[in-house]
Amino acid sequence: MKTFGETIQKIRKSRGITQAELSNNLLNRTTLSKIENSLEEPSYQNASLLIKRLGITQEEFDYIRNNYNLSPKEQIIYDTLNIAYNSQNQKIDSLLKRCQLISNDDDIQMITSILEAFKTGNIIEARKIIIPVWKHRISKIENWNILDLYVLNMIFFVFDEETMIGISNRTIDTIETKYPFLKSLNESFALNKAAILVHKRKFSEAIPDLQKACKLARATCRYDKLFLAKGRLAICQKNKEEAVKCLNTLKAMEALDVYRGLQTEIKEFADRFNEN
């Protein structure tokens, strides 16, 4: 792993930023030179400001500092966020073993609980494991970070509908206020919230979230989610022709899981198309 100063210098030079430009109104150029040559350590505040001035996040800085490799903890989190519920038991077992190698870490303890819940393969048992994690940790955090948001997206399925809507509202607000670059995650929460509202037959309330999901799906080029959102919007607006068009498009795209989901919704709310 490179030193803090070596990493600052590497990123600064790669971006064509001079020492004078980076240190301007923060510290003098001589001090920055000493930091870059590992002769002096910056304060936590100055270190954070130097990273911010380079236009990257702390996570990106740590990734570069670690020679473009994730740390063991970061790798566990990344691998966990990329598994499907109860579909990769060998991977879940492997992740649980890796979690045991990292002690006294709240994030890893939370990941362990989620993996154990996934392994049950039973939503009732999964809920028994995950709800305490929600009550004793995530719900008490005033400012959710990016990991909290991704974890909530993973465990969303265990909550009752009212809690889901409350979580969706807060996560969407957090993303739009603090993490606007998380467009795909924002889109997922908007779609999930809309699905609940449609299920509760609150069609007019679902429309703004579906319109938002359509906009975000276009921005992220997630056309499977775009036509799911447009199909769901067609149900809300009693437009059978548009709903069927979206369904056929999903089938042609071979987005079969999404296709089957929208197909089920169209059948469930077929009575709406007869109201016109």
State whether residue 203 is helix, strand or coil: helix
Query: What are the 10-residue block averages of pLDDT along the chain, 276 residues in total?
Result: 90 91 92 94 90 84 82 86 69 93 92 92 91 91 89 91 94 92 91 95 96 94 95 96 96 93 94 79
Question: What's the confidence (pLDDT) of residue 179?
Answer: 87
Question: What is the amino acid identity at position 13?
Answer: K
Question: What's the confidence (pLDDT) of residue 55?
Answer: 84
Question: What's the confidence (pLDDT) of residue 215?
Answer: 95
Q: Where are the alpha helices (DSSP H) in 200-274?
A: 203-220, 223-236, 240-252, 256-268, 270-273
Question: What's the confidence (pLDDT) of residue 87?
Answer: 55
User: How far is CA 4 from its chain centroid?
Assistant: 28
In eight-state DSSP terms, residue 157 is: G
Tokens 């042609």 sit on residue:
252
Residue closest to 273 by CA, chosen among 221, 247, 238, 248: 238
Are 15 and 60 a contacting pair, CB within 8 Å?
A: no
Distance CA 213, CA 168 (A): 13
Question: What is the amino acid identity at position 276?
Answer: N
Distance CA 270, CA 267 (A): 5
Question: What's the confidence (pLDDT) of residue 108?
Answer: 93
pTM of the model: 0.71
Neighbouring C-beta atoms of residue 252, cutoff 10 Å: 10
